[in-house]
Amino acid sequence: MLLDLEPDGDALFLDFDGTLVEIAPRPDDIVVPRHLPALIDRLSARLGGALAVVSGRAVHALDSYLSPARFAASGLHGMENRWNTGDPVIRVQPPESLESVRASLVGSGIADERVRVEDKGLSIAIHYRAAPERGEDIIALVHDLAAPYADLSVLAGKMVVEVKPSGYSKATAVEDGMRQSPFSGRRPVFIGDDVTDEDGMRAATALGGYGVKVGEGPSLAEKRIGSVRHVLDWLDRQSKGH
């Protein structure tokens, strides 16, 4: 059973896909629950603005999915941050090596109707949910292409592999956010479903908070919640204070 949030004491970091919305066969096919934007607004207000959506997606994509809600966000695994709702998004500079890998990926011919190469600008994600049997080869290829560059790292998630600048993760997102108002001085609570969320949970735990794992599978999280549906119900109760 999850604890109730402390409106004046807790800061909430929420993964998006698989936590706030059900995972879809293709990332563009997700369906955002109709009540979610209002729920985010209400809960963010209750937490004094200390609610951030922390995703591998770009912040502008999160904004468009959750419009008209206003919220703090970290996108592209910690490479884009906006810790106050009215502020502009702060982005890191992409290394030149990413350009080389981008060209090699395009030249490799791995993209087809079932495998999608998504260029996020600061990172490149290859989605193979529709062709799971090709996952092993795709991950190996991405590792090979990124291997020569110390300033790039490879991140494998659920049916997606991503190449991105080294040194950024959901852990750095949480650490960065927790240094800033309105998050600083609060207890970080990180809710997520995937391997990349473990970094965020580890950082939240190190900063005196805890992680919540959505669904099955190994996790360092102190607490568990069953599904997206359960997350939304719990968040809704927290937003109303009962």
Task: Tell me which residues are annotated as active site.
Answer: 15
Pick the binder of Mg ion from 10, 17, 162, 198 (CB under 5 A).
17
Q: Which stretch binds Mg ion (CB under 5 A): 12-20, 87-95, 136-144, 179-187?
A: 12-20
In the numeric block, which tokens belong to residue 208?
């005196």
Q: Which residue has the tokens 């999280």?
A: 221
Least Cα distance to 23 among 181, 192, 217 occurs for: 192
CA-based max dimension of the chain: 55
What are the φ/ψ torsions at residue 162 (nearest 5 degrees)? -135, 140
Interaction of residue 41 with Mg ion, rule CB under 5 A: no
State in Å, rounded, how far the first CA of the chain is from the last one.
Answer: 14
How many CB atoms lie under 10 A from the CB of residue 239?
21
Interaction of residue 194 with Mg ion, rule CB under 5 A: yes
Interaction of residue 198 with Mg ion, rule CB under 5 A: no
Q: How far is the CB of 120 from Mg ion (least distance, A)?
A: 16
| DSSP 8-state class, residue 2 | P
Q: How far is the CB of 193 from Mg ion (least distance, A)?
A: 4
Interaction of residue 56 with Mg ion, rule CB under 5 A: no
In the numeric block, which tokens belong to residue 77?
């695994």
CA distance 65 to 91: 20
Pick the binder of Mg ion from 10, 18, 160, 165 (CB under 5 A).
18
- Judged by beta carbon, residue 15 or residue 63, the one nearer Mg ion is 15
Q: Which stretch binds Mg ion (CB under 5 A): 28-36, 94-102, 147-155, 185-193?
A: 185-193
Q: Which stretch binds Mg ion (CB under 5 A): 10-18, 36-44, 64-72, 132-140?
A: 10-18
State the residues that interact with Mg ion by CB under 5 A.
15, 17-18, 193-194
